[in-house]
Amino acid sequence: MYSFHWTVKAVKQVGKLPAGAWVEIIKTTTSSKPTPIEIFRAFEQKYGMKIPSVSTDQYFTCIKG
């Protein structure tokens, strides 16, 4: 089975999350970029803070690794 590694970085401040914060997301069932829910959960898990629902295209950049 293949896995796809994504690095997601905040390009603007989102609530208390500063610009430049990043997470890694591994997807094993598809090569598509992470969904907004996956992005918010990954940041919440890593940084321990609630991320407000925002447009992921405007606030985050997804880089396939």
Under the banding of pLDDT at 50, 70 and 90, the label for residue 65 is confident
Beta strand pairing call for 60-64 and 4-10: antiparallel
pLDDT tens digits, 5-29: 999 999 999 999 999 999 999 999 8
- What is the average pLDDT across 36-63? 94
Residue 1, pLDDT > 90, answer no
pLDDT of residue 29: 84
Looking up tokens 């992921």, which residue turns up?
Answer: 56
> In sequence order, what are the beta bridge partners of 61?
9
**By percentage, how much of the chain surpasses pLDDT 90?**
78
